[in-house]
Structure 1
Amino acid sequence: MKTILEFPSVRGIQAGREYYVSMCPLGHVPKIFTFTDEALEPELRAQRQLNKGRVPEIVRYLVENPASYVFSAITASIDGDATFTPHPGDDHHGVLRVNLNDSRIILNDGQHRRAAIASALVESPALADETIAVVLFHDRGLERCQQMFADLNRYGVRPSRSLSVLYDHRDDQALVAKLVIGQVDGLNGLVEMEKSSLSPRSKALVTLSALYTATAALLQDVDLDGVDARATTAAGFWEHVAGQFPQWTQVREGELSSGQLRETHIHAHGVALHALGRVGNTLLRRGESFAALNGLNGLDWRREASDWDGRAVVANRMTKSHQAVLLTAAAIKTRLGVPLSAEEQMFETALARENA
């Protein structure tokens, strides 16, 4: 006996070929849509291997945001028998019937969403009745499926990290970073909100993504209740920091270009902001005031200064690796009389050994 799967669909045309757009209950997604064999060589598959490390994050997103999650359409190819029957008098709307006895519906795009849906349904069965949009193509063989995968991913561009932070209203750290910008006069007009890198002619001094990272380091494991309290504390810190760098004011007032300052001083770079966040974190966790930061303007922040060689500057180039952040933080802390963390001390000892 034939097992027929019916998709109420809208029929469209792309490149002279029919395709179909339908809706599928989430509860049916793991049963209907399959992968090609992951054990096959890449040239024999129609898609990338499933990265299982990505799935728990997507599951958490689904389960924790049941009233606001958004999933884009998944795209699949029907490998086998399928027939579209239009409604009377309407060539575009109808029913797509797939014979499951001799057909498979293989995902071209959306395998991680499919795996996440399967796991999320275990934690939240109520999701089963919700739907996801599905775009279905009639399979033209492995070569066509592989080309579809390449085409679907050809022009996908991941948004910049700054733009992701700007548009994220769920992440408390993103909310804090954006609140800080509005509360710190010293950062007014100096933050690039969209891009995660700065051109030499940019009027901005720091990126939102760099401020986000540095502020997260500042507040890590600090016991403050709520976004507003965390933002107020962070704003106080960054206002204090900005007050130590008169060049920031010069950039804001147009007396000095951001590019010129970034070319000559490290405190206009993300690695230094992140390191400063670590300094502030130590002060907060020790219950100390930000008065220790008053010594910042006494440091030599020029890129050629020996204090930063092998730390923020390696082979005459700025670097923002984890090691660079820790070593830069260690140098600042040492000058300000702030204790080093165990990890910072480990890297500091290793650097001293290298330079001996």
Structure 2
Amino acid sequence: METQAATRVVAPRTSEGFEYTFPAIRGIQAGREFYVSMCPLRLIPKIFIFDEDELTPELRAQRVLNKGRLPALAKYILDNPDDYVFSALTASVDGDMTFDSHATEGPGMRTGQLHIPMDARFLINDGQHRRAAIEQALKENPDLGDETIAVVFFHDAGLARSQQMFADLNRHAVRPARSIGVLYDHRDEEAKAARLLSTRCPVFKGYVEMEKSNLSARSAKMFTLSALYYGTQALFQGLEVKPDEAAKLAQSYWESIDQTIPEWSMVRNRELPAQEMRRDYIHSHGIALHALGRIGNSLFRESTAVTKWKKRLGPLEKVDWSRSNVDWEGRAIVGGRVSKSHQNVTLTVNYLRHHLGLPLSPEEQRVEDAYLRGDA
């Protein structure tokens, strides 16, 4: 029975049963053989079965599957069939593996056919969410089954070894800073808008940190790209605006905000060092841009006409953004540090709404009431 050139099920080589045959490359790590092959996506859900949810942590070799991540991962594959990218799965094989090399010496010793009995158990050490997302995507688009993904096979050396592999594979994994993710994301329209703002808008040009999501004490930048991204994302949340119009509207909005915050222009005019501005004020921090984005969203819902929403921003000139303003404690500042939690963003939005005479939503009112009672 042929399934794909990359992997096939062949007649039994022994009397014990059928087997999978993978074209593979043999390697050595820590004195142990491992094999790298390609597997058709349609076989992934059938071969790699994840059924450890009911086991206690000490008896598992993986974390519990977070099903909340799957829709986004599956959507990523389905929405980008021509340019999605998935890294290799890593699996341990509890069963005999036989490798027939193409040659007895030289480079050909490293390539050949990997034979694995069909009754062997495949344990995923890394990639369980990718595997589950592939299964979900195949249900909606079976044509994806002919595509392949790299798989690294190790001999299963027992639970302790598998648990150690999981720990080692994830020990040094570092998620990239959100700013560089925005910088390199060419699918997300809001990421595109943030990049355009950072390079074309006079408010931000030359003052946005494009790679890091935190500014060092000595940085001459005023904003991070991730903060600008979340602020602009909040600006258009739930609004249907064409990308070109959104870019122009966002630039107009942030330029209007700039007119209410004199310290921003003082930094650009070399009248105030960016380091001192960030130290003494909170208006360039992510929480402030996010809150200002939500304020703009409310105004845009009333009207996107500049003549109508711009004049509503006038009262922002009276907001005291300095850290010394005791009103920020518990709202934007917790224990002397600026907090970016969802609750603190909402409390900061509420404070700005009060200055602008804008009503609170039921959820915002609930958070405000809890804060006033001292529950926040």
2:341 match: 321
Q: Does the C-alpha gap of structure 1 residues 265 and 118 become closer, same or farther in structure 2, counting only changes over 3 Å?
A: same
| Between 248-257 and 140-149, the greater mean CA deviation after superposition | 248-257
Q: Which amino acid is 1:304 matched to?
A: S
Q: Does the C-alpha gap of structure 1 residues 15 and 122 become closer, same or farther in structure 2, counting only changes over 3 Å?
A: same
2: CA distance, partners of 1:53 / 1:6: 34
Pair 1:231-2:251 in alignment: no
1:195 match: 212
* 1:110-163: CA deviation from partner (whole Å, max 9, x where unpaired): 111111111111100000000000111122222221111111111111111111
Q: Tell me how many residue pairs correspond in the alignment.
A: 353
Q: Which amino acid is 2:79 matched to?
A: E
Query: Contact 1:217 / 1:277 at 8 angstroms: preserved in 2?
Result: yes
SS of residue matched to 2:203: helix
The partner residue of 1:310 within 330, 337, 352 is 330
Structure 1 unpaired stretches of 5+: none
* CA shift for structure 1 position 342: 3.4
1:343 match: 363
Q: Does the C-alpha gap of structure 1 residues 105 and 322 become closer, same or farther in structure 2, counting only changes over 3 Å?
A: closer
1: CA distance, partners of 2:326 / 2:185: 39
1: CA distance, partners of 2:30 / 2:113: 22
1:84 match: 99
Query: Contact 2:295 / 2:353 at 8 angstroms: preserved in 1?
Result: yes
Residue identity over aligned pairs, in percent, reads: 53
Query: Contact 1:187 / 1:242 at 8 angstroms: preserved in 2?
Result: no
Pair 1:271-2:297 in alignment: no
Q: CA RMSD in A?
A: 1.9
* CA shift for structure 1 position 353: 4.5
TM (norm. structure 1) is 0.93
* CA shift for structure 1 position 47: 1.5
Q: Does the C-alpha gap of structure 1 residues 354 and 115 become closer, same or farther in structure 2, counting only changes over 3 Å?
A: closer
2:165 match: 148
* CA shift for structure 1 position 283: 1.4
Query: Contact 2:347 / 2:368 at 8 angstroms: preserved in 1?
Result: yes
Query: Contact 2:198 / 2:206 at 8 angstroms: preserved in 1?
Result: no
Pair 1:260-2:276 in alignment: yes
Q: Does the C-alpha gap of structure 1 residues 82 and 36 become closer, same or farther in structure 2, counting only changes over 3 Å?
A: farther
Query: Contact 1:83 / 1:96 at 8 angstroms: preserved in 2?
Result: yes
| Between 3-12 and 341-350, the greater mean CA deviation after superposition | 341-350
* 1:262-301: CA deviation from partner (whole Å, max 9, x where unpaired): 2211212211111111221121111132122233223222
The partner residue of 1:94 within 105, 112, 123 is 112
TM (norm. structure 2) is 0.88
Query: Contact 2:197 / 2:205 at 8 angstroms: preserved in 1?
Result: no
2: CA distance, partners of 1:139 / 1:222: 52
Q: Does the C-alpha gap of structure 1 residues 300 and 34 become closer, same or farther in structure 2, counting only changes over 3 Å?
A: same
Q: Which amino acid is 1:67 matched to?
A: D
1: CA distance, partners of 2:368 / 2:151: 54
1: CA distance, partners of 2:365 / 2:53: 45
Q: Which amino acid is 1:308 matched to?
A: W
* CA shift for structure 1 position 194: 1.1
2: CA distance, partners of 1:161 / 1:15: 34
Query: Contact 1:71 / 1:132 at 8 angstroms: preserved in 2?
Result: yes
2: CA distance, partners of 1:125 / 1:10: 28
Q: Which amino acid is 1:233 matched to?
A: L
* 1:208-267: CA deviation from partner (whole Å, max 9, x where unpaired): 11111111111122231x211111111110111123222212323444332311221121
2: CA distance, partners of 1:165 / 1:23: 31
